[in-house]
């Protein structure tokens, strides 16, 4: 059974990740699992320090260092277990029945790749220190690797009331429109369709199709075709219309693809003041 999987790491964004995952789980009527991956870079590994220690004290110091590493490893594991239990209790208090938890050693991307077929929605937190550590430092690799919808949260939870889809007429964003139309996640939320480009007949026809598709599914939809620089147009529109969830196709073959691929992917996630839902 596919489920909502929330990756938590004990940092300041974890409560928001938990709350957004609960919100998604309830709307999708899908099971919720909390995942903590104790990454190889975050816990001690065995090392040979014998060449750096004098002969007289080598054995004693090596034994002490080994014991210290073991204690650190056990402490990290115990801290993770407590964190997972706290997230589980938080979810139960918000109405989730029997949320599960899972802790493992390894690499975050490799772990999520193994779980990919079980993921209905992946929820990750964005750190405010420019994606420089923990989950944030590997977020772009996760986005590039997985082929599942990913919700990237901000540090504070706010229940989405108005959403915006960046639409460009590509196969990726057309599929995104169809996904939104059939998904329970965004049902009954006003949706703004924003296409960045010239006011050509082709662009207008594409935007009209997207609007009609969502309206047939019962969405209150506002469609706008705006000329300009993609990132600036989307950011300005979001601020002007009080959008609190941005939806984008993770990768495509158009101007939106150029907007997302490479360093711009990180820029979008870093600079967005609202959660970003990436569709695949």
pLDDT of residue 129: 54
Structure tokens at 85: 């239990």
The full 3-state SS of the chain, as one line of letters, equals CCEEEEECCCCCCHHHHHHHHHHHHHHHCCCEEEEEEEEHHHCCCCCCCHHHCCHHHHHHHHHHHHHHHHHHHHHHHHHHHHHHHHHHHHHHHCCCCCCEEEEEEECHHHHHHHHHHHEEEEEEECCCCCCCCHHHHCHHHHHHHCCCCEEEECCCCCCCCCEEEEECCCHHHHHHHHHHHHCCCCCCCCEEEEEECCCCHHHHHHHHHHHHHHHHCCCCEEEEEECCCHHHHHHHHHHHCCCCEEEEECCCCCHHHHHHCCHHHHHHHHHCCCCEEEEC
Look at the block and give the residue holding tokens 């901000």: 154
Give me the residue spans of the domains in the chain: 3-42+76-153, 163-279
How does pLDDT run across 151-200, given as a tens digit for each residue? 999 989 999 999 999 898 888 889 889 999 998 999 999 999 999 999 99
Which residues of the chain, if any, have pLDDT below 70?
1, 40-66, 69-70, 72-73, 128-137, 250-270
Task: Give the pLDDT of residue 137.
Answer: 57
Contacts with 35 (C-beta within 8 Å, 6 or more apart), sequence order: 5, 6, 7, 8, 101, 102, 103, 104, 111, 115
Predicted local distance difference test score (pLDDT) of residue 79: 84
Which residues is 278 bridged to in the sheet? 150, 248
**Cα torsion 216, 248, 112, 39: sign:** negative
* Topology adopted by domain 163-279: Rossmann fold (3.40.50)
HEC profile of 17-69: HHHHHHHHHHHHCCCEEEEEEEEHHHCCCCCCCHHHCCHHHHHHHHHHHHHHH
Threshold 0.85, pTM exceeds: no
Give pLDDT, residue 40.
59
From 248, 10, 236, select the one nearest 143 (Cα to Cα). 248
The pLDDT, as a whole number, for residue 268 is 62
pLDDT score, position 232: 85
Q: What is the CATH number of domain 3-42+76-153?
A: 3.40.50.620
Asked if the domains at 3-42+76-153 and 163-279 fall in one CATH topology, the answer is yes
């Amino acid at each position: 059974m596919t489920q909502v999987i929330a990756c938590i790491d004990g940092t300041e964004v974890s409560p928001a990740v938990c709350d957004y995952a609960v919100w998604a789980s309830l709307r999708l009527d899908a099971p919720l699992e909390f995942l903590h991956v104790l990454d190889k870079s975050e816990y001690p590994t065995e090392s040979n320090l014998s060449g750096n220690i004098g002969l007289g004290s080598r054995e004693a110091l090596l034994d002490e260092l080994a014991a210290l590493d073991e204690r650190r490893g056990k402490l990290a594991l115990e801290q993770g277990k407590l964190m997972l239990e706290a997230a589980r209790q938080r979810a139960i208090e918000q109405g989730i029945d029997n949320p599960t938890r899972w802790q493992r050693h390894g690499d975050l991307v490799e772990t999520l790749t193994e779980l990919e077929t079980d993921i209905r929605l992946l929820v990750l937190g964005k750190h405010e220190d420019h994606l420089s550590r923990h989950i944030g430092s590997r977020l772009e690799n996760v986005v590039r690797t997985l082929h599942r919808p990913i919700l990237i949260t901000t540090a504070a939870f706010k229940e989405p009331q108005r959403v915006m889809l960046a639409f460009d007429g590509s196969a990726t964003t057309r599929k995104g429109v169809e996904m939104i139309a059939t998904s329970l996640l965004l049902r009954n939320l006003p949706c703004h369709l924003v296409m960045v480009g010239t006011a050509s007949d082709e662009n207008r026809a594409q935007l009209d199709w997207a609007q009609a598709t969502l309206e047939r599914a019962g969405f209150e939809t506002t469609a706008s075709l705006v000329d300009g620089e993609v990132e600036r147009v989307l950011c300005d529109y979001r601020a002007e219309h009080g959008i609190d969830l941005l939806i984008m196709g993770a990768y495509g073959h158009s101007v939106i693809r150029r907007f997302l691929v490479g360093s711009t992917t990180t820029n979008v996630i870093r600079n967005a003041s609202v959660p970003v839902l990436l569709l695949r």
